[in-house]
Amino acid sequence: MLARTANEEGTGVQAPVTVVTKQGTLRGDTQTSKYSDNTFYSFKGVPYAKPPLGDLRFKSASVQAPQDPEPWEGVKDALKEAAYCKQAGDRGSEDCLVLNVYTPNLPSDDTSDVYCLSASIRCH
């Protein structure tokens, strides 16, 4: 998907940017770090697996491996964070198999492999 990930908060959207994944094209943002003058790219709410619905809903991950997300037509906006995973109360969504990806570089023809150098996981 993307060649590198980083965890930096940004300010000010500079320009939209697109990347092509095996599921489809994503539209993200170009931003500047509020801690330095570094530019980075932001893709939010990117699906990484198909939600386990129906017969798969309560199966253990050891029994049923996650499935790739469904491909989409056209350009998918990856500009806003998706809903948080459902917790106590009415807030959140059970369909929360998404990532927020921040990368200093966009993929090119010579960066076909994916390496996750830094990830941020929110625990509830």
118 within domain boundaries: no
Residue 26 lies in a domain: yes
Is pTM, for the whole model, over 0.85?
no
Does 1 map to a domain? no
Residues above pLDDT 90, as percent of the chain: 25
Residue 28 lies in a domain: yes
> 14-64 pLDDT, tens per residue?
678 999 999 999 999 999 988 888 899 999 999 988 887 777 777 776 777
**Residue 113 lies inside a defined structural domain of this protein:** no
Report the distance separating Cα 64 and Cα 109, nearest Å.
33
In a domain, 111, yes or no: no
Distance in angstroms (rounded) separating the CA atoms of residues 92 and 77: 20
Domains held by the chain: number: 1
44: containing domain = 10-103
Residue 119 in domain:
no
Using one digit for the tens of pLDDT, what is the confidence trace for 104-113?
988 876 555 5
- For residue 120, being part of any structural domain is answered with no
**How is residue 48 written in tokens?**
């990484």
